[in-house]
Every structure is written in structure tokens, then in C-alpha cells.
């Protein structure tokens, strides 16, 4: 028997409809790419987004066509975002931090027809335009006076693009499973893969992300998403803020400590979100200038693990609650959230810190478990670790154009329908998940797994160590054994014995690295994480002393 409730398709145009109906005068503030701070409202954004839809339709864009943005978080980006999604086109956010050739590859793969870009990225567009096969119109997100000079073909200023178009347009009216957004994974191994969000997956993600034990925002909040719209939907904030009527503050191109601080204070921001590197810059600025955070209440941190120093500084020095979040592009992106339970509130501060450094508990709409290589589930005892697999309405089932398909249906799932995150984790009895490694970095020794991250975290505490990386090196008896690679602090020369002695008692005996080598510099990747691929390549012929002995 079916229920007798109304058919109300979960499409994201309804979010801006709601903002326009309920919070039309709530402000959206942008540090514009041109420089000055600009102020608008959800009501204006709604009307201009409708103009975008009409302009797109006039250029022949049809439902399902891909419309790309190469842009910072700004009010115009928000208008293009809702304008494209509302009419049933697919908004493809392109990450400008990728190499130009990768950007061109992605745009061609997505077959984007229109490309909105911030003038900051005009040099990239100029470079790749000759390679782009499907883009017919380039729209610079500015007015005519600020158009970049250059040779990009067919480009038009955004203000001219929408000028004269009606401020009303047909939105929605299609199935909630219709494609809505496209975002490519970073492609550290192989070509990037497209994650194709649906209206339903985005809308459910936004509702889940704004539960009180997740972001918990309301109409009295002022929200600053430093996390970019081109990185996994700005963690759903471009949906969450208009949905709940929060004032929105868009940082534009300036994400440095002083610029972020200025916006936090002048706009009286209460909630913000970004990766740890942004917060390191902000905290440095606060210390250097002896400044305080007078309105900020909560900061969501994710993308990589929250460093302990960042957690302690925000909470203990500045009175701002840290919300540790874990997720990925394929999860729309939020998976777990580190909000505390009554058990954690009752614990002493050091136990709380340990809990908060974990990646958190599954948010409603996310199911997760940890499994071994044979697919057998591991216990939730906080010690056993396994591959972290997830399920939910906002988790990818397949990649765009069936990239990375694992079955004949084109899906990228395990046999039981779970998505393998590529992370290795523990889950404790309270449900807090902790990442211990990326699956490809875990060291497999005699059928057991050794966490490279755990050893690294301890090793950086040893005297004279600036940076530490652990990789698995081939071993005739154990398959792989850990090799600890150290970048010393300037002038320091830590020895193998000193470092191993320091680790003694901190990690299990069989985790003890078989050797320690010093290098001048540990290579970092484009996102600032240790480039283990490069290290594995560099040490692929390395023979461990223990391997010689075993032969
Ligand atoms: P992306 O799809 O680019 O957002 O990258 C997702 C990956 O970033 C995850 O699979 C994790 O490996 C890593 N990641 C995200 N959040 C965290 C976190 N809070 N702690 C540790 N790693 C994280």
C-alpha cells in the first residue's frame, strides 16, 4: 500500500525558492574578485539566477547539458549554480588548482557547453581554449568594465550575458533523480573520475549536513564557507545556508589569514568551514597580531585530519568549537562528524581531545563499516582496522561515463552494494571512526596491516625530525616492512637508533620500522599531503637490512 502524501520532488531549485519566499532580504556578502565587498540578498540572487536560466536557454542549453564554472565562492557563482541546476542543466564545478592540461581533459570529458570563469583564471582559459572541443561560450563572471584583455574566443561579460532577460523562469518540474552537479575527483591515480550528483542526493545531503549535531545552522547564523564550491559542493554550504536562511559570506579569491580574519570579524561570522591549512594561516595571523575571534562559535574542519595544535588553539585559546568532519567528493561530501556525545562531555579534557581528533560518527544518511580484504566485517573496538566502506542516498553508485566500473551495470561498488572509500579506519564502541591510512599506503606485513600514519605521527615527535613518512618496502619473508623516511630539522642529524629508541613502547613491536633513512626534503603533492607515490618510486629498489638477513 502506498502512502497518500503529496508528490514533492526533492530538487534543489526549491531551496532558493524557499530562501526567496522566507528570507528574501537576508544578506549575501562577497569579497568580489574585482576587489570591493559587495552586498546582495537571497531575493536578488533568486531573480538573477532565473535570468541565468533564461540566458542559458537562449544559448540553446537543454536539460542534461553540462555548464561549467571555474570560479571562487562569490554571489555570481551562486547565481550561475542555481540558474543552471534550476533549469535541469548539470553544473560542473571545475577545480582551478589542477594543471591546465587536466582542466582541459576534464572539460572535454564532461562535454561542457558554457564555461563561466572568474577573471583570475583568464590566463588558464587562454591557454586551454584551443584544446576545448565543446565549449561554445565563455562567460567572464564580471561586468564589461572588468573584462580581461586577451584572446579567449566568444567570451562575454556575465552582466551582459544576463542583461535584459526576464527575472522569472520555469524551474524544476523534473524527476528528483535528475543529474544536478558534476565534480571530478583529483585523479592522483589515473584520470580524474566524474561524480554526478542528483537533485535528490544534494538536497538530502544538505538536510543531513544541517542537523543540529552536524553544522546546526539557522537563520541567526552568519556562515563563511572558505571551502570552495569547486571542492565537493563547498561541503553542502551553498545549499545549507539558503535553506535555513543564514547570512552567507563569500570569500572570493582571498583565502589568506588576514583576509579571512577581516571577513570573520566585520561580518560577524558565527560558523565557518575549511581544510586545516586555511586554519593554520588564520591562527598564525591571530597570534602575530594578538587578535581575538569575537563572534565565531563553530568551525568545521575536514579534508585532512585536524592537527592537534589547531584543535587546542581554536577551543582552548579562542573559545571556538571545532567540528571535525570526514568525507569525500563521492559522498557529496560529508560522511562523519566529530560532535561529542554525553559520554565524551563527561570525560576529562585529554580524553575529549583524543575523541575530537578522531574523524567522527556517521551522519544520518550514511551507513559505514570496516572490512578486511576478504570482505569480512571487523569489530568496532577502536583497535581493529579495515577498509572503510559506505552506503547512502548521497554516495556515488557509478562514475560519469562508467569510469572505474566494477560490474556490468557500470557501478563502482563492492558486491554488497557498499562504496569503498579507499580509507582504512578503526571504529570505536561509541561509533567514532578514525582514519589510520589510505588503503594504498597501508603496509601489509605477514598478512597483517600496519598504519603508516600512526608511525609518522609518533616519529615527528622525535628530536630533530621536521617531517616523517613511512612506506612499505618489499621483504622476502613478510611481503612488506615499514621504512621510515625522515626530513631532519635544519642543522639536526637524528640517527636511526635515536629515532627507533624514541618509538620503542609507543607502537607495537612488529610495527617498528625495519630501517630509517634521512632525506633532504620529503616530497609533497599538489594538496600539501606527503607524496607517497614519489617516495615509493624513489625507494623501489631499496633493500632493507632485515631483507638481506632473511634471504
Ligand atoms: P576529496 O574527495 O578530495 O575530498 O578527498 C577525500 C579524502 O580526503 C578522503 O577519502 C580521506 O582520505 C581524506 N580526508 C577527508 N577528510 C579527512 C579527515 N577529516 N581526516 C583525514 N582524512 C580526510
Q: Each residue of 233-265: pLDDT tens digit?
A: 899 999 999 999 999 999 999 999 999 999 999
Taking the CA of residue 438 as reference, the ligand 1 atom at the shortest distance is 12
Q: Which comes out higher in pLDDT, residue 186 or 71?
A: 71
Instruction: Measure the CA–CA gap between 31 and 4, rounded to whole angstroms.
Output: 47
Ligand 1 binding pocket (C-beta < 6 A) is 185-186, 232, 302-305, 324-329, 333, 359, 421-423, 435, 438
The preferred substitution site among 183, 303, 334, 336 for testing ligand 1, maximizing ligand atoms within 8 Å of CB, is 303
Q: Kindly tell me if the per-residue pLDDT of 189 is higher than 70.
A: no
CA–centroid distance, 277 to ligand 1, in Å, is 14
Contacts of 406 (CB under 8 A, 6+ apart): 412, 413, 414
Ligand 1, atom 7, lies closest to the CA of 328
pLDDT at 548 over 70: yes
Query: Which ligand 1 atom sits nearest the alpha carbon of residue 422?
Result: 10
d(CA 238, CA 526): 25
Nearest to 250 by CA among 38, 466, 480, 10: 38
268 is catalytic: no
Q: 337: CA distance to ligand 1 center in Å?
A: 12
| Element housing 79 (H / E) | helix 75-86
Q: Rounded to an integer, what distance in angstroms lies between the CA atom of residue 293 and that of residue 289?
A: 12
Active-site residue flag, 444: yes
- Report the nearest-CA residue for atom 15 of ligand 1: 303
Q: What is the mean pLDDT of residues 293-310?
A: 93
Quick one: what percent of the chain has pLDDT higher than 70? 97
Instruction: Label residue 210 exposed, middle or buried (CB < 10 Å: 0-12, 13-18, 19+).
Output: buried
Neighbours of 228 (CB within 10 A): 22
Distance 302 CA to ligand 1 centre (A): 7
- Where is 67: in which H helix or E strand? strand 66-70
List the residue whose alpha carbon is closest to atom 23 of ligand 1: 304
CA of 420 to the centre of ligand 1 (A): 13
Closest residue CA from atom 5 of ligand 1: 328
Question: How many A from CA of 42 to the centre of ligand 1?
Answer: 31
**Domains of the chain as residue ranges with CATH:** 8-200 (3.40.50.12780), 441-550 (3.30.300.30)
**Residue from 187, 328, 396 to probe ligand 1 pocket by mutation (most atoms less than 8 Å from CB):** 328
Ligand 1 atom closest to the CA of 333, numbered from 1: 4
Is residue 294 part of the annotated active site? The answer reads no
User: What's the helix, strand, coil split of the chain in %, to 5?
Assistant: 35, 25, 40
pLDDT at site 546? 84
Q: Ligand 1 pocket: which of 435, 441, 532 to mutate (most atoms <8 Å of CB)?
A: 435
DSSP 394: T
Distance from chain centroid for Cα 229:
9
pLDDT single digits (tens) 465-520: 888 999 999 998 888 999 999 999 889 999 999 999 999 998 888 899 999 999 99
Q: What is the pLDDT of residues 397-435, one digit of tens each?
A: 999 999 989 899 999 998 899 999 999 999 999 999 999
Active site (annotated) includes residue 521: no
Task: Supply the pTM of this predicted model.
Answer: 0.89
- Cβ of 6: how many Cβ atoms within 10 Å? 5
Average pLDDT, the chain: 94
Cα 176 to averaged position of ligand 1 atoms, centre (Å): 28
Alpha-carbon distances, residue 266 vs 126, 262, 489 (angstroms): 36, 6, 39
Q: Give the active site residue among 126, 444, 506, 543.
A: 444
CA of 23 to the centre of ligand 1 (A): 34
Which whole-number Å values give the CA distances from 481 to 446, 472, 514, in the listed order?
A: 9, 5, 7
What pLDDT band is residue 188 in, cutting at 50, 70 and 90?
low
What's the pLDDT at 166? 98
Q: Choosing from 119, 137, 142, 185, which is the catalytic residue?
A: 185
- Cβ-Cβ contacts under 8 Å for 102 (sequence gap 6 or more): 187, 192
| Pocket probe mutation, ligand 1, options 327, 424, 456, max atoms within 8 Å of Cβ | 327
Taking alpha carbons only, the member of 456, 462, 466, 522 closest to residue 490 is 466
Report which of 72, 65, 74 is spatially closest to residue 92, judged by C-alpha positions. 65
d(Cα 51, Cα 53) in Å, to the nearest integer?
5
**C-alpha span between 294 and 83 (Å, rounded):** 36
Residue with the smallest CA separation from ligand 1 atom 6 is 328
**Ligand 1 atom at shortest distance from the alpha carbon of 330:** 2
**E strand segments, 350-478:** 361-362, 367-371, 386-391, 419-427, 433-438, 443-445, 448-450, 465-475
Distance, CA 317 to ligand 1 centroid (Å)?
Answer: 26
Whether residue 74 has pLDDT greater than 70 = yes
Cis peptide before 333 (omega within 30 of 0): yes
Amino acid at each position: 500500500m502506498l502512502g497518500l502524501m503529496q508528490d514533492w520532488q526533492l530538487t534543489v531549485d526549491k531551496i532558493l525558492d524557499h530562501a526567496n519566499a522566507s528570507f528574501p532580504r537576508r544578506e549575501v556578502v562577497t569579497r568580489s574578485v574585482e576587489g570591493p565587498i559587495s552586498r546582495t540578498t537571497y531575493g536578488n540572487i533568486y531573480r538573477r539566477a532565473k535570468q541565468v536560466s533564461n540566458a542559458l536557454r537562449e544559448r540553446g542549453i537543454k536539460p542534461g547539458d553540462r555548464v561549467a564554472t571555474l570560479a571562487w565562492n562569490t554571489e555570481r557563482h551562486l547565481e550561475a549554480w542555481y540558474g543552471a541546476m534550476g533549469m535541469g542543466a548539470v553544473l560542473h564545478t571545475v577545480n582551478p588548482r589542477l594543471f591546465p592540461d587536466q582542466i582541459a581533459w576534464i572539460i572535454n570529458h564532461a562535454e561542457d557547453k558554457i564555461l563561466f570563469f572568474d577573471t583570475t583564471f583568464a590566463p588558464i582559459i587562454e591557454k586551454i581554449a584551443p584544446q576545448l572541443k565543446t565549449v561554445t561560450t565563455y562567460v567572464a563572471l564580471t561586468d564589461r568594465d572588468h573584462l580581461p584583455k586577451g584572446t579567449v574566443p566568444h567570451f562575454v561579460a556575465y552582466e551582459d550575458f544576463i542583461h535584459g532577460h526576464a527575472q522569472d523562469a520555469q524551474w524544476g518540474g523534473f524527476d528528483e533523480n535528475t543529474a544536478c552537479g558534476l565534480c571530478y575527483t583529483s585523479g592522483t591515480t589515473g584520470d580524474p573520475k566524474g561524480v554526478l550528483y542528483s537533485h535528490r542526493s544534494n538536497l538530502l545531503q544538505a538536510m543531513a549536513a544541517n542537523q543540529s549535531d552536524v553544522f546546526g545552522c539557522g537563520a541567526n547564523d552568519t556562515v563563511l564557507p572558505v571551502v570552495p564550491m569547486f571542492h565537493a559542493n563547498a561541503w553542502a554550504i551553498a545549499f545549507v545556508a539558503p535553506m535555513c536562511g543564514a547570512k552567507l559570506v563569500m570569500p572570493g579569491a582571498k583565502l589568506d589569514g588576514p583576509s579571512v580574519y577581516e571577513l570573520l570579524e566585520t561580518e560577524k561570522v558565527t560558523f565557518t568551514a575549511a581544510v586545516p591549512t586555511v586554519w593554520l594561516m588564520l591562527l598564525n595571523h591571530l597570534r602575530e597580531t594578538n587578535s581575538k575571534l569575537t563572534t565565531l562559535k563553530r568551525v568545521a574542519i575536514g579534508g585532512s585530519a585536524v592537527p592537534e595544535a589547531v584543535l587546542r588553539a581554536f577551543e582552548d585559546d579562542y573559545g571556538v568549537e571545532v567540528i571535525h568532519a570526514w568525507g569525500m567528493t563521492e559522498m557529496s561530501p560529508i560522511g562523519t562528524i566529530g560532535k561529542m556525545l554525553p559520554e565524551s562531555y563527561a570525560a576529562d579534557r585529554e580524553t575529549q581531545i583524543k575523541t575530537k581528533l578522531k574523524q567522527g560518527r556517521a551522519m544520518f544518511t550514511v551507513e559505514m563499516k570496516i572490512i578486511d580484504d576478504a570482505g569480512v566485517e571487523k569489530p568496532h573496538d577502536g583497535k581493529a582496522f579495515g577498509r572503510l566502506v559506505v552506503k547512502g542516498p548521497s554516495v556515488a553508485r557509478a562514475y560519469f561515463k562508467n569510469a572505474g566500473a566494477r560490474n556490468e551495470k557500470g557501478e563502482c561498488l563492492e558486491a554488497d552494494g557498499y562504496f569503498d572509500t579507499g580509507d582504512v579506519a578503526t571504529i570505536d564502541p561509541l561509533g567514532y571512526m578514525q582514519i589510520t591510512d589510505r588503503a594504498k599506503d597501508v603496509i601489509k606485513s605477514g598478512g597483517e596491516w600496519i598504519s603508516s600514519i600512526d608511525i609518522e605521527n609518533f616519529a615527528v615527535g622525535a628530536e630533530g625530525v621536521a617531517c616523517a613518512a613511512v612506506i612499505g618496502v618489499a621483504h622476502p619473508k613478510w611481503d612488506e616492512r615499514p621504512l621510515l623516511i625522515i626530513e631532519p630539522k635544519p642543522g639536526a642529524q637524528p640517527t636511526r637508533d635515536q629515532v627507533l629508541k624514541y618509538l620503542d613502547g609507543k607502537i607495537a613491536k612488529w610495527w617498528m620500522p625495519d630501517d630509517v633513512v634521512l632525506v633532504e626534503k620529503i616530497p609533497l603533492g599538489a594538496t600539501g599531503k606527503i607524496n607517497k607515490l614519489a617516495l615509493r618510486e624513489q625507494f623501489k629498489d631499496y633493500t632493507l637490512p632485515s631483507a638481506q638477513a632473511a634471504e
